[in-house]
Structure 1
């Protein structure tokens, strides 16, 4: 069944054309991810589909039986409503039937009671309340009486997400679910739950996300918006990268041919023939078309820059027995750590565990209860916070950066200009000379990032840098950080980003406990899942085998005896092999991002598909065995 059809859509703002004559179709069961640089029209396209904005030309047709539902980054709510009341504000017939049924329980009007019961049957709403509470529980929202105004930003996002998922379950019509960066401000556990839910749900989905693991697990099609066009890639993120490379190679070949023809035709044009016949006029028109192709710039800025960074001394940063609590809430308990030269550390943990507090304490922005901090004399912090920057909205982008310095220093006394540095981070000339007020939300985040990096710090501290950044910018940032010779601390829920950058994890595990894990983030997640992470004390090991797992069993897990000997052995094998498969998958994705040879990309893509299938089979069997034990 066709849900949405669009033909020849064009949209411009002033002289800037976002997209031109694009066409697409969305069919039932499609799970589509949109990949594009910020400011190229992702949000505008979503608004046109939702009917909130009108295209300059072209047409969008939505099937009359399809309801379009949006999960936006901006969530509107009445702060005085309880969580349960907020959930019941859903505008759907099954929800209304459920509300009438609750009222009928306190009514003596027999006709009203009969009508309410009939509506529950008609709209199949009997299990809806249970499903709603199950979704809220899975998203760690248990106090349904809490007022919305008392919840944290992350809790509000989870409640809104539960409401949306309930709506898609409640509506028995066909639903197109549109989600704009759904993983922002969710911790890893919640992201993985949502990823698992959406990948298995029978829904039609149009998704904007920067989380590449999430994208690969949930979506089977990638829409790429670039150069005013829309390109459709059927397959994974790796398939999109492969197709994009092939397209760019073909374009470069076309440009080479046009350059050869352009040189020949340029000689003819310079002779300026006096007789302007129809034939020569046609040749002149063809010359300008050739010139346009020949002068197409496809070169990407390289990040292989040799930075002239302030030298790191012998002492970097040392934390000794740091304690921090708010009343009974313990965030840090006797935490000690000594940072080494060039170390790249990832900090992970649930929202509210104290990650941002530690970053603030390190920089002296927040007091500690006790302990000592020794910072090297040569250390210059660069802090990218979640709060954003303060700036004059009417100031031009280039001037905002030049206020720091006209040039960025490289090794051997070389420099690059502020404009060149902006281009590296995907700000074209037109955008550089535009006022900051004209930037999209994602572009402002990118400017904030530029502001931090351009000050040339030697110790970077990033608090959720990937939120609202597009995938092209993330790739640029990852390449930048891989070449960064200073120290780096990253707090992020983006698993792919963490795997590419950090090789050491500090994990907040509750009650002030911080686990020091040497390895990439996926390895930490795999080992913590095998051990069953909780606030209980754990062995300080970086790897866990099946024997360790059996030794760490608690009485509550004694239900495993219900499995046969063969099933028990199968479960142990799966739990041992899943982390290894995850690691192999991460390694293949890493190679794909850095590979340019087409044959190698094709081979790696085949390996990735095979590993992903094995991993999915293991996950499904693991769930079956877990259900047998429950």
Structure 2
């Protein structure tokens, strides 16, 4: 059944045409990803469908019985409700029914009509599972990392508000859901949960995302906005790449660079998780062969080659560093000595201290303990989540020239990369060079801020959520840039595809405040994590078997004990068995904990320690009784 029809939509901003006479439709249950360059009009199209903005011409028709919900990329809203109260308001129908039920349940004498209505309300709440309304809201908040249900929404950060807003729209149980960059401000585990949830839900979905894993997993078709038109591709992102490759084969030789780029992207994606778990990208032999055999592009938009920047013996040296904020320990006893060409990804739940660690490594804040030294030759480029150094009344090219006129790569005939060349290579066409920054989209502003950092030619680069607001083509450009970067690269990112491509080691924040290093990329880390958890489960099972065997072996001994001793012996066996089961449960809870609720982590740790002591004490007494009657 068709639930959405968009016909001949056109939209312009000032002199820029975003799209012209585009048409498409959506059937019930369809899941569609929208892709296109920054500024192509992806977010605007979602706003037009939702009714927030109007098209210059054309029509949007949503089925009358379709409940539509839209989540903005920035989610700028305010509320003095608690997070729980706010999210529960997401389902207006259940809220109204509960209010009505409350009114009738407190009325002493109901009329016949009121009794019938009260019965109808109960039946409807049963059918909607409305009695679990509060539990459902808590589930969404908890899975999205908001564990303090009573926190006032007004006091939350922008990222936290985005997660509360996401919980709100999920709570509403929409028929058609529009999501603009839903993975922004989510950690990797939460993204995986959202991905699985959207895959399993029988809803219609239109979404914009730069997360290629998320796009590939959730989408069933792709809408691409390109050159003011819209193109439809059946299948997910991988199928889209295959179809684009076939299309590129039919084009003239001037488009061969597109074929090469798509072939590389498709080869990487098709290789799957197994190949992405390799310790170094250079070891993916057949992808390297593809790169060598591909036709060299005459278009230098994407390729940026940098020479080796001098790095002394000391780059970054951190020995047993630690940091706490407002009495909360983020990390401790962490040691790192940087080497040229280090490629490191940092992983952990929101609020665990990833950005704080970057600030410390950049020399912006001091360590609470241990020692930290930034080498004299280290030139740090730090790309933060919030962009605050752009001037709206400055032109794009002058913003770069404010940093430097050119980058000296130190090699070859084309030794110098000018500001103009860098802009063109990073997808800013010539007509945009003299545009004012105030006219740029959010993604274009972030791309310009990144180029300002590149223009300073740093040899140590720290990136904090660099993929937010970037289109896929920009991400490919960034990844290509770093293929030839000689310095140190350390990344905090929720984008699993980006981390997989970019890093050779992963630092993982653990609930106890330690940081553990894993060789390989993100997918390889997930494989190792699953092996560790499997081993823990196996050991816990073996310990339970040993306990059961020990109890069985003492049956004969019990017969030789006095009544009082036998009673104590019996109680000890039962208590030890019960305590070990409880210990196993708490250890499993700690293993599976997402690290978001530090108070709960402390409680679990204390309980585990207490249980272990009790087990040791009671086991020692059990052994005394057993040996005394030998």
Q: TM-score range by the shorter chain?
A: 0.7 to 0.9
Say whether the 8 Å CA contact 1:94–1:120 is kept in structure 2: no
Contact 2:12 2:56 (8 Å CA) reproduced: yes
Counterpart for residue 51 of structure 1: 51
CA distance in 1, matches of 2:66, 2:298: 43
Q: Which residue of 2 aligns with 1:38?
A: 38
Deviation at 1:418, TM superposition (A): 1.0
1:25-424 residue pairs with structure 2 within 5 A?
25-90=25-90, 92-108=92-108, 110=110, 115-122=117-124, 124-127=127-130, 128-129=132-133, 130-168=135-173, 175-252=175-252, 300-412=299-411, 414-424=415-425
Q: 2:115 & 2:141 partners in 1: Cα distance? A: 28
In structure 2, the CA distance between the partners of 1:306 and 1:165, relative to structure 1 (3 Å rule), is: closer
* Larger mean Cα displacement after TM superposition, 109-118 or 476-485: 109-118
Report the CA distance shift for 1:154/1:254 in structure 2 as closer, same or farther (over 3 A). closer
CA distance in 1, matches of 2:438, 2:76: 23
Deviations 1:222-259, CA, capped at 9 Å, x for gaps: 11111111111111212212222333333326999xxx
Where structure 2 has 5 or more consecutive residues not aligned to the other structure, the ranges are: 257-296, 547-630
Aligned 8 A contact 1:324 1:330 in 2: yes
Structure 1 residue 553 displacement after superposition? 5.4
Q: Paired residues, what number?
A: 499
Contact 2:160 2:185 in 1 (8 A): no
Distance 1:10 1:76, change over 3 A: closer
CA-to-aligned-CA distance 1:55-113 (integer Å, 9 cap, x gap): 22322222222222101123354442112221233363233112332444444463567
TM value normalised by structure 1: 0.74
Q: CA deviation at 1:330?
A: 1.1
In the alignment, is the contact (CA less than 8 A) between 1:83 and 1:146 conserved in 2? yes
Please give the alpha-carbon distance, in whole angstroms, between the structure 2 residues aligned to 1:116 and 1:377.
Answer: 76
User: Whole-Å Cα distance in 1 between the matches of residues 115 and 429 of structure 2?
Assistant: 65
**In structure 2, how many angstroms separate the alpha carbons of the residues matched to 1:38 and 1:92?**
35
Q: TM-score, normalised by structure 2?
A: 0.74
2:385–2:465 Cα contact (<8 Å) kept: yes
What is the CA–CA distance in structure 2 between the aligned matches of 1:299 and 1:42, rounded to whole Å? 29
Going from structure 1 to structure 2, the CA distance change for 1:72 and 1:120 (only over 3 Å counts) comes to farther
CA drift at 1:432? 1.7
Does the 8 Å CA contact 1:11/1:55 hold for their aligned counterparts? yes
- C-alpha distance in 2 between matches for 1:252 and 1:228: 22
Task: Name the CA shift for 1:429/1:479 in 2 (closer, same or farther; >3 Å).
Answer: same
Distance 2:511 2:253 in 1: 56
- Check whether the contact 2:304–2:480 (CA below 8 A) recurs between aligned residues: no
Aligned CA distance change for structure 1 residues 53 and 299 (closer, same or farther; 3 Å): farther
> Contact (CA 8 Å) 2:347, 2:354: kept in 1 or not?
yes
SS at match of 1:310: coil
1:517-562 deviations in whole A, cap 9, x for unaligned?
A: 1111111122223423xxxxxxxxxxxxx6675236597999xxxx
**How many angstroms apart in 2 are the aligned matches of 1:151 and 1:103?**
33
C-alpha distance in 2 between matches for 1:400 and 1:193: 40
Which of these residues, 539, 546, 568, is aligned with residue 551 of structure 1? 539
Distance 1:341 1:142, change over 3 A: closer
- Return the alpha-carbon distance in structure 1 between the equivalents of residues 145 and 531 of structure 2: 21
* C-alpha deviation, 1:303, in angstroms: 4.1
Aligned match of 1:568: none
After the TM superposition, which residues 494-533 of structure 1 pair with which residues of structure 2 at under 5 Å, given as runs? 494-532=495-533
Residue 592 of structure 1 is matched in structure 2 by none
In 2, the alpha carbon distance for the partners of 1:109 and 1:452 equals: 73
How has the CA–CA distance of structure 1 residues 313 and 78 changed in structure 2, closer, same or farther, with 3 Å as cutoff?
A: closer
Shift in Å at residue 511 of structure 1? 2.8
Cα drift, residue 310 of structure 1? 2.9
Q: Counterpart of 1:540?
A: none
Equivalent pair of 1:131/1:166 in contact (CA under 8 Å) = yes
- Aligned residue for 2:182, secondary structure, equals coil
Mark the runs of 5 or more structure 1 residues left unpaired by the alignment: 257-297, 533-545, 559-630
Preserved CA contact (<8 Å) 1:233 1:243? yes
Provide the rounded CA distance (Å) in 2 between the counterparts of 1:553 and 1:156: 41
Q: Contact 2:465/2:492 (CA < 8 Å) preserved in 1?
A: yes
Distance of 1:349 and 1:436 partners within structure 2: 34
Cα pair 2:35 2:223 within 8 Å, conserved: yes
CA contact (8 A) 1:7 1:23 kept: yes
Counterpart residue number, 1:18: 18
* Residue aligned with 1:450, SS: helix
Q: CA separation of 1:149/1:556 partners in 2, compared to 1, >3 Å: closer, same or farther? A: farther
Instruction: Summarize the alignment of residues 405-484 of structure 1 with structure 2, pairs less than 5 Å apart.
Output: 405-412=404-411, 414-484=415-485
CA offset at residue 334 of structure 1?
A: 1.3
Cα distance in 2 for residues equivalent to 1:441 and 1:551: 50
Give me the whole-angstrom Cα distance separating, in 1, the residues matched to 2:253 and 2:405: 37
CA contact (8 A) 1:306 1:411 kept: no
Corresponding residue SS for 1:365: coil
Instruction: Return the index of the structure with the highest Cα Rg.
Output: 2
Post-superposition shift, 1:120?
A: 4.3
